Structure 1
Amino acid sequence: MIVADRFNNRTVIVSGGGAGIGAAIARRFMAEGARVGVIDLDTSGLVEGLDEAVVERLLAVDADCTDEHALTEFHGRVVSGFGPVDILINNVGQSGRERSAPFHESNEEVWRFVLEISLISAMRLSRLAAPAMRERGGRIVNMASDAAFAGDAGLADYAAAKMGLIGFTRSLARELAPHGVTVNAVAPGAIRTRAHERVPAAVIERIKAETPAGFVGEPDDVAAAVAFLASDEARFITGQSLLIDGGRWMI
């Protein structure tokens, strides 16, 4: 349920917000009144269907989230245009996809890419946002994956990166809690995005069979949970990992 004006006068950053889960999160915050900065390789589809008044509260930048300079420049533009960051959503991440392989056949170049995009980018953006949050309070939500808990075969690098993000979440939560900042992680399972279009139907059916809820989630399911963790209602929740996977993995 959209809560009108819940994030009025809040500045939000969403990395990897050009499509899929990230776009759903960005749209959710804009629908609830926030000013939103989005960085992704391609943000062109994000403005489709948005009212002009909403678009005025969006700063969309096409850039590579593995580029430290690009992240720093983007953060500066958001702060200059919208003010200090109140809510940071470290959403960007990726497995090796077509380059994924059983670990004994895997390539170190792919490991490094997966770690860079899924973990290091979150650390870099958090370091940029943390100083102002220490002064003003804030929320950080990191995008992990249930692959970190389930340990899916063929995704050792991705599982390692996402579990690293869980450890980062917990440590940063302890550091920032005295300053009124909460840091949490969400860990989606199978979510219907464009990536699913490249997955064989038999694999999707297997995933459904392994999921107690019996269906694949939607990006808005993740966006709703992220919005809650970023809200004032979640002020006493920090250092936690919320799985959004229909019960595939339970902790």
Structure 2
Amino acid sequence: MTSGRFTAKTVAITGAAHGIGAATARRFLDEGARVAVIDREADGFAESFAGQPVDRLLTMAGDCTDAAVLADFHGRTIAAFGPIDILFNNVGQSGRERAAQFHESQEEVWRFVLEVSLFTAMRMSHLVVPAMRQRGGRIVNMSSDAALVGDAGLADYAAAKMGIIGFTRSLARELAPHRVTVNAVAPGAIRTRAHDRLTPAVIERIKATTPAGFIAEPEDVAGCVAFLASEDARYLTGQTLLIDGGRWMI
């Protein structure tokens, strides 16, 4: 992909050492953007961005749940590449091994899931919005089809990801007069490292309940994020785009 449609644009992506974040960063780099990424798992940068243009790529190790770290990332990005034109609030996760049926769940896990999956998006957006109000821009937030399906055992994650949808809609209304669009993507089953912990039986069950019949790749999400960040989507704001092979339809 070498269209150059994001040439001279500055993109910031949270949680981008692996998976969807890394695939999206590569997509923007392939299309000419200057890209800044942050992830606490900095050891993944070397593999994920091998061969990428170092003059247009900034990597930073850091915990996205720390407001001071996000502020530092924002400052470094501007210092290296100028004001942020496109923000992809990608970072987020479920309780993973600590996930449980709600009656057995723990509040400390709820708080972690809300912090990493909702508050990081709000904090990072709060950093970029003042400049975007002056010059326009794009914000894409990471939700999940779990917000709409309501998967059992993921009440905290579903709540956080539905919170992303509400945040996206409200911020979109505020920023629309300033030539800023705000949208969300809501992936379903995507082949990331999280799937490595699933048994073959679970993988087959996911495929069986997905009308498309297969599990998508991170690049499938990256293409949708790039569309939402492009001029092709200039009249599209406040929307949530499900990328789940038809598992949930709106």
TM bin, normalised by shorter chain, reads: over 0.9
CA contact (8 A) 1:17 1:43 kept: no
1:183 is aligned to 182
Amino acid at match of 1:42: E
* 8 Å contact kept, 1:102–1:154: yes
**Do 2:92 and 2:117's aligned partners in 1 also have CA atoms closer than 8 Å?**
yes
Which amino acid in the other structure matches residue 241 of structure 1? Answer: T
1:41–1:63 Cα contact (<8 Å) kept:
yes
In the alignment, the residues of structure 1 paired with residue 147 and residue 88 of structure 2 have an alpha-carbon distance, to the nearest angstrom, of 19
For 1:186 and 1:113, the matched residues in 2 are separated by 21
- Aligned match of 1:244: 243
For the residues of structure 2 that align with 1:35 and 1:152, how far apart are their CA atoms? 37
Deviation of 1:91 after TM superposition, in Å, equals 0.2
| Number of residue equivalences | 249
Deviations 1:105-128 (A, max 9, x none): 000000000000000000000000
Task: Determine helix, strand or coil for the equivalent of 2:153.
Answer: coil
Greater displacement, 228-237 / 40-49: 40-49
SS across alignment from 2:13: strand
Distance 2:179 2:46 in 1: 33
Q: Name the aligned partner's letter for residue 14 of structure 2.
A: S
CA distance in 2, matches of 1:3, 1:110: 42
Task: Report what 1:36 is aligned to.
Answer: 35
What is the SS of the residue equivalent to 2:45?
coil
* Structure 2 CA distance for aligned equivalents of residues 25 and 46 of structure 1: 13
Secondary structure of 2:38 counterpart: strand
Are 2:231 and 1:232 aligned?
yes
Give the drift of 1:56: 1.5
The aligned residue for residue 51 of structure 1 is 51
What are the residue-to-residue correspondences of 1:129-168 with 2, within 5 Å? 129-168=128-167
C-alpha deviations, 1:120-177, integer Å up to 9, x for none? 0000000000000000000000000000000000000000000000000000000000
Partner of 2:116: 117
How far apart are the structure 1 equivalents of 2:225 and 2:99?
Answer: 28
The alignment partner of 1:140 has SS state of strand
Alignment partner of 1:83 is 2:82: yes
Query: 1:3 deviation in Å?
Result: 4.5
Q: Deviations over 1:12-44 (max 9, x none)?
A: 000000100100011110111111110111233
Letter in 2 for 1:51: G
TM-score normalised by the chain length of structure 1? 0.97
Q: Distance in 1 between matches of 2:82 and 2:225?
A: 21
Q: 1:6 & 1:44 partners in 2: Cα distance?
A: 30
Query: Corresponding residue for 1:170?
Result: 169
Residue ranges of structure 1 left out of the alignment (5+ in a row):
none
Q: Which amino acid aligns with 1:149?
A: L
Distance 1:34 1:47 in 2: 19
Map 1:188-227; keep pairs closer than 5 Å: 188-227=187-226
Give aligned-pair identity as a percent: 70
Letter in 2 for 1:40: D
- Taking the TM superposition and a 5 Å limit, the aligned residue runs for 1:91-110 are 91-110=90-109
Question: 1:185-212: per-residue Cα shift (whole Å, max 9, x none)?
Answer: 0000000011111011111111100000
The two structures, once aligned, show a CA RMSD in angstroms of 1.0
Q: Which runs of 5+ in 2 are unaligned?
A: none
Q: Distance in 2 between matches of 1:30 and 1:106?
A: 40
Contact 1:143 1:186 in 2 (8 A): yes
